Amino acid sequence: MSSSSDQPLVQRVLAVSAASAARASLVIRQVMSSGQLGIVEKGKNDLQTAADRGAQRIIIGNLRLAFPGLTVIGEEDEDPNAEPLRPDELVQPDAGVLAKDCPAALRDVPVGDVTVWVDPLDGTSEFAANLLDHVTVLIGIAVGSRAVAGVICQPYYNYQTLSPDQMGRLIWSLEGLGVFGLSETEIANNPPGNIIATTRSHSNQIVNDAVTACEPTEVLRVGGSGHKVLLLIERRAHAYVFASPGCKKWDTCAPEAVLRALGGCLTDILGNELPYDASATHPNKQGVLATLRKEDHARFAAKIPENVRKALS
Ligand SMILES: Nc1ncnc2c1ncn2[C@@H]1O[C@H](COP(=O)(O)O)[C@@H](O)[C@H]1OP(=O)(O)O
Ligand SMILES: [Mg+2]
Ligand SMILES: [Mg+2]
Ligand SMILES: [Mg+2]
């Protein structure tokens, strides 16, 4: 059997990302059960908690230790006085990821071509409001400008029925290989109508105009980019529509990689691809439009009205 250091770089980065996301989930649950959320307001309608800070420290600390020279961009500012990781915070690369055969196209990627986008806790407003299943940990891996691998970890998946050591799920994808961590029972039949998932906590007139233009039969106002893409994957919504510059590359890189590995797409609201190289601008200034089915993507993109296009361009 080969040692982990024999595997291609992208696969090893994904394996450490998956393990770090799972370890970060423990931190998120610990912060919530301590009752000490340590909320800081970063800006208007933009919170950070001790869980965001603690999860990012674990993920970035592990990635930097394992891959010196790797470009890792996290949502939260890094604390120059942060404690080094303790032995119990260091992760082993995920064995399930390492056991796969890396697709040929990703075998020889040099470290300088890789950018990792880390959202240590997506859905912070919902976390603070105790809407726990809206929360995900997102780690997206780009090669050049393309999102090729993603980790979506949902620390509170099934929290209402399962004990803390059983709840949660870890989903990961690699381009050319597929998506892992989803069970068949989580996939519903394709529902009829136009079910639109959109923001719960960052609405405005333009956001609502875009949703209305999609002629929704139902609107799901829920938190988090990761959570909304999971609703698409589970066929509980047809489109994720967010006509606002509020989402950043760390919100969309991992969800885009996972969705694309299932044949779906995530673009800006006008249908343009989002670049994920290290020099990409952080905000997705022209919003987000995502669907599991390509035909739905074209259908909803065509409905976005002129006033929304103008407001975001
Ligand atoms: N105006 C905004 N300011 C800061 N973050 C935003 C804003 N709009 C969206 N986001 C980020 O995008 C995610 C998806 O948006 P929404 O939940 O509103 O649909 C949010 O959970 C938040 O990520 P995070 O929670 O990681 O800060
Ligand atoms: Mg945030
Ligand atoms: Mg986020
Ligand atoms: Mg976040």
CA–CA separation, 144 and 137 (whole Å): 23
CA–CA separation, 134 and 123 (whole Å): 6
- Mean pLDDT over the full length of the chain: 96
Whether residue 186 has pLDDT greater than 90: no
180, 203, 230 — which closes off a domain?
Answer: 180
Whether residue 1 has pLDDT greater than 80: no
Residues 74-103, mean pLDDT to the nearest whole number: 95
Residues 301-313, mean pLDDT to the nearest whole number: 96
91: phi then psi, degrees, rounded to nearest 5: -110, 155
ipTM (interface predicted TM) = 0.99
Check whether residue 16 and residue 165 sit in a common domain.
yes
| Amino acid at residue number 149 | A
Check whether residue 250 and residue 142 sit in a common domain.
no
Q: pLDDT band at residue 185, thresholds of 50, 70 and 90? A: confident
pTM reported for the whole predicted model:
0.98
Domain containing residue 143: CATH number: 3.30.540.10
Encoded tokens for 65: 């230790």
Check whether residue 156 and residue 214 sit in a common domain.
no
Find out whether the beta carbon of 224 lies less than 6 Å from any atom of ligand 1. Answer: yes
180, 195, 218 — which closes off a domain?
Answer: 180
Residues 150-172, mean pLDDT to the nearest whole number: 96
Q: Encode pLDDT of 213-249 as tens digits.
A: 999 999 999 999 999 999 999 999 999 999 999 999 9
Ligand 4 ion: residues within 5 Å (CB): 75, 119, 121-122
Check whether residue 197 and residue 136 sit in a common domain.
no
Choose, from 49, 52, 133, 268, the residue flagged as catalytic: 52
Percent of the chain with pLDDT over 90: 92
Residue nearest atom 24 in ligand 1 by C-alpha distance: 122
Atom of ligand 1 nearest to the CA of 228: 19
Find out whether the beta carbon of 247 lies less than 6 Å from any atom of ligand 1. Answer: yes
Check whether residue 143 and residue 191 sit in a common domain.
no
The confidence score (pLDDT) of residue 4 equals 60
**Known catalytic membership, residue 133:** no
Which residues does residue 220 pair with via DSSP β-bridges, in sequence order? 197
153, 180, 207 — which closes off a domain?
Answer: 180
Find out whether the beta carbon of 123 lies less than 6 Å from any atom of ligand 1. Answer: yes
End-to-end CA distance of the chain: 52
Check whether residue 116 and residue 256 sit in a common domain.
no
Check whether residue 31 and residue 121 sit in a common domain.
yes
Atom of ligand 1 nearest to the CA of 48: 27
CA of 176 to the centre of ligand 2 (A): 31
CA–CA separation, 271 and 289 (whole Å): 7
Find out whether the beta carbon of 201 lies less than 6 Å from any atom of ligand 1. Answer: yes
Check whether residue 79 and residue 197 sit in a common domain.
no
**Known catalytic membership, residue 71:** no
| Residue 276: domain span | 185-312
Is 79 a known ligand-binding residue? no
Q: Encode pLDDT of 33-81 as tens digits.
A: 999 999 999 999 999 999 999 999 999 999 999 999 999 999 999 888 8
- Helices H, strands E: what count in the chain? 9, 13
The confidence score (pLDDT) of residue 2 equals 46
Check whether residue 146 and residue 292 sit in a common domain.
no
Find out whether the beta carbon of 117 lies less than 6 Å from any atom of ligand 1. Answer: no
Check whether residue 26 and residue 45 sit in a common domain.
yes
Q: In the chain, how many domains are there?
A: 2
| Amino acid at residue number 120 | P
Residue nearest atom 25 in ligand 1 by C-alpha distance: 123
Check whether residue 176 and residue 192 sit in a common domain.
no
Check whether residue 267 and residue 307 sit in a common domain.
yes
Atom of ligand 1 nearest to the CA of 120: 26
